[in-house]
Structure 1
Amino acid sequence: MPPFLARHLPTREQLARNRFLRWLEPFLHHTHLWVWSRHGVALGVSIGIFFGLLIPIAQIPFSVGAAVVLRANVPAAAASTLVTNPVTFAPVYYAAYRVGARLTGAEVEAAPDLPVPLEADTDSRSLWQRLSDVGAPLITGLALFACIGGLGMYLLISLIWALVEHLRERRQRRA
């Protein structure tokens, strides 16, 4: 693993100390969860991207749990959930809303009808109704982004990893 990457990834001990991941501690000692292999890393990143895009909270516990079950690389799964962070959250969710609105046939607005403070509320629709108007297209778009992003990253990482291995072997044969 490259040293610049190792500095930013969580260790076994850090994950075991996390209060949301304590239940996984008996499983975190398996070495196959920490090996940097093509399949393990590609699967770990795709799991992290999937949960990072699909759910807004508790992304790391879900991705680590799925990585343990699927025997993927745990640090890659945990780190790749950061695809949605404070900088990318709004653009990703807005794009997911727009795509989901197109797929569900909902009316695409320039800006979704977000709730406003009660004193400024002049709309007769309830807060729940306005949130549900945004919810179905948003969930549809996020599910689509999560599936395509996870699968796409798995394929991309596998392809790049195989290409790098091929070039390394080719270079060694020449030497």
Structure 2
Amino acid sequence: MAKKIIQRFLPDHEKIKNNKSLKIFGSLLHDANLWHLNRRSARGAFAIGLFFAFIPVPFQMILAAAFAIPLRVNLPLSVALVWITNPLTMPPIFYGSYLVGATILGQHGQAFSFEPTIQWLINSLSTIGPAFMLGSLVCATVAAIIGYFGIDILWRLSVVKAWKNRHK
């Protein structure tokens, strides 16, 4: 059941293999284990995808693929999960990451105002940057752990439910 639900949302293998940004991996994309969906590959893909979704860097899909290939987890799932942070969800997720980092560093009440300029970005790296990066790393790690164990539990429950239905 869990496998069917996940497969419904996964992009086509050929579409991913022909993605321009993933061409740098060349023949590594032809490993059949990268496209196979089982409990092990799904939980690893969830961990990788969720981790890189919370890391504020460009090319998150390439980073997720770069980790999915040597770990031999489901590539489409790990690449698709980084889109949790999309243009609509980035502001609240990254602001939440900043708040987590500020709380850990004890920087409460630090006011800032956003300006869409390069100068503001450079100045912000020294003021809110450390809290933001620490918070992003903490949130990424927590999301990866929850994703890893969460999909493992859901997968096991799905298998138990299928076995019970067969016995009826």
TM bracket (short chain): 0.7 to 0.9
> Unaligned stretches of 5+ in structure 1?
none
The separation in 2 between residues aligned to 1:26 and 1:95, in whole angstroms, is 39
Alpha carbons of 1:116 and 1:43: their partners in 2 closer, same or farther (altered >3 Å)?
closer
The answer to which structure has the higher helix fraction is: 2
Q: CA deviation at 1:172?
A: 0.8
Alpha carbons of 1:4 and 1:68: their partners in 2 closer, same or farther (altered >3 Å)?
closer
The separation in 2 between residues aligned to 1:157 and 1:116, in whole angstroms, is 38
Which residue in the other structure is 1:9 paired with? 10
Identical amino acids, percent of aligned pairs = 26
**Alignment RMSD, CA only?**
2.4
Which residue in the other structure is 2:96 paired with? 95
Q: 1:137 aligns with which of 116, 125, 131?
A: 131
The count of residues paired between Structure 1 and Structure 2 equals: 166
2:163 is equivalent to residue 169 of structure 1? yes
1:32-111 equivalences under 5 Å are: 32-109=33-110, 111=111
> Unaligned stretches of 5+ in structure 2?
none
Bigger shift: residues 8-17 or 149-158: 8-17
Larger radius of gyration: 1
Q: Is this contact kept in 2: 1:102–1:108, CA < 8 A?
A: no
Q: Is this contact kept in 1: 2:16–2:76, CA < 8 A?
A: no
Q: Taking structure 1 as the reference length, what is the TM-score of the superposition?
A: 0.84
Which structure's relative contact order is higher, taking Cα pairs within 8 Å and 6+ residues apart?
Answer: 2
Amino acid corresponding to residue 65 of structure 1 in structure 2: A
The separation in 2 between residues aligned to 1:135 and 1:113, in whole angstroms, is 14
The separation in 1 between residues aligned to 2:116 and 2:73, in whole angstroms, is 43
Amino acid corresponding to residue 134 of structure 1 in structure 2: I
